[in-house]
Amino acid sequence: MSARPCMSIVVPVFNVAPYLAGCLDSLLAQKFRDWEAICVDDGSTDGSGAILDRYAAKDARFRVIHQNNAGVGPARNLALDAARGKWLLFADADDLCSPDMLSRVADLERGHPAAGILAFRQVKFGEGGDPAWSGGSQESEIDLRRSIPSCTADIGICTVALRRDMFGDLRFRPVPLGEDLLYLVECFARADAAVMSDAVLYGYRQREGSAVHVDMDRERVLKYIEYHELMFGVLAGCGKEIGLAYTRHRGNGWIEKCPWLIENLGRSERGETWRKWFDSMAQAKKMKCFSPWQHFVASVMSIFRSPLLADLLCVLPHRLKRLGIHR
């Protein structure tokens, strides 16, 4: 391995001992060997930190940092501060990487030297299962100088490689929800070009108790609203045209899911939460990156501020969508 590795893989770790070795072994299995994995033990209490130390003692490419629990965003930021590679990648400690992941990233770089973002696909797998990897041969370069197109809507933080000289100064924002998508939006806002490959190279494990499967209480709903305000503030200020499907994909949570979440709160918690959402809709209607339907809903809600109307315009379509009736 060179003194300055080609690729740095950021791995935040918190209480994932049953899955951690699988993730680290999937990195050891990489066909491309010029990498470092910066693993940040975020105050684990289940022995995850000791597992990391054992791997680091056997292979110097694993670099371990221990810190008191601060959250996934600060853990990733600490790893970014220590990263030395030309490319930055991210992996969650309970997921798996295809043995071809880094070699395919290297191939994409050779074929598209001007691109700052190299993206690939992920596959979901459940407990006791294995990811279904797919080599994929299709790839396309996307011009991001004037727009963030719809085709980028499904890209996640663990399915990209980012050039460190373009994005190395960016850090995850101190928000409890959606810090990864906010970070990606800022990358797309800054980048001039990206490459998308249809190769399935990352395995996302679906399990109970993970960060994305946590019930929403009032405080988390308020943070969910705040997260969307930040995201669309970045989009509205980036000076680029936003693809309609991208806006729908990112904005549906704010426009449709938030009212549904509020309705599921206790009666005493709804009033202030509704007011916060109505205030956010007043801000949303000023933004020029919504779909026409989303802009209409934001405008109506900011004027009438009616939970009943919100139920008709937002909650009902969301429920119908869950039943497969509404598109």
Q: What is the pLDDT of residue 219?
A: 92
Do 21 and 107 sit in the same domain of this protein?
yes
320-325 contacts at long range (C-beta below 8 A, 24 or more positions apart) = 321/256
Closest to 165 in 3D by CA, of 39, 2, 6, 1: 6
- Domain final residue pick, 170, 190, 211: 211
- Would you say residue 1 lies in a domain? no
Do 221 and 250 sit in the same domain of this protein?
yes
Mean pLDDT for back-to-back runs of 10 residues, the chain (327 residues): 82 98 98 98 98 98 98 97 98 98 97 96 92 93 95 94 97 90 95 97 83 71 92 91 85 86 91 94 87 88 92 71 50
- Would you say residue 2 lies in a domain? no
Q: Which domain holds residue 317?
A: 215-322
Do 137 and 282 sit in the same domain of this protein?
no
Do 161 and 33 sit in the same domain of this protein?
yes
Do 75 and 190 sit in the same domain of this protein?
yes
What's the CA gap between 285 and 303, in Å, rounded?
A: 10
Number of domains the chain is built from: 2
Do 200 and 221 sit in the same domain of this protein?
no
* CATH number of the domain encompassing residue 62: 3.90.550.10
Q: What is the pLDDT of residue 218?
A: 92
- Would you say residue 91 lies in a domain? yes
- Domain final residue pick, 171, 188, 211: 211
- Would you say residue 304 lies in a domain? yes
- Would you say residue 86 lies in a domain? yes
Write out the DSSP string of 22-58. Answer: HHHHHHHT-S---EEEEEEEES-SSSHHHHHHHHHHH
Q: What is the pLDDT of residue 313?
A: 81
Q: What is the pLDDT of residue 325?
A: 46
Q: What is the pLDDT of residue 78?
A: 98
Q: Are 142 and 194 in contact (CB under 8 A)?
A: yes
Do 220 and 204 sit in the same domain of this protein?
no
- Domain final residue pick, 211, 237, 255: 211
Do 232 and 300 sit in the same domain of this protein?
yes
Residue 164 is encoded by which pair of tokens? 């460190």
Q: What is the pLDDT of residue 142?
A: 95
| Alpha helices per DSSP H over 191-315 | 218-237, 244-252, 258-263, 267-284, 292-304, 307-310
- For 230-274, write each residue's pLDDT tens digit: 999 999 999 999 998 888 888 888 988 898 899 889 989 999 999
The residue written with tokens 């197109």 in the block is 149
Do 21 and 44 sit in the same domain of this protein?
yes
- Would you say residue 327 lies in a domain? no
Q: What is the pLDDT of residue 321?
A: 59
Do 80 and 192 sit in the same domain of this protein?
yes
| Residue 117 β-bridge partners | 162, 194
Do 43 and 172 sit in the same domain of this protein?
yes
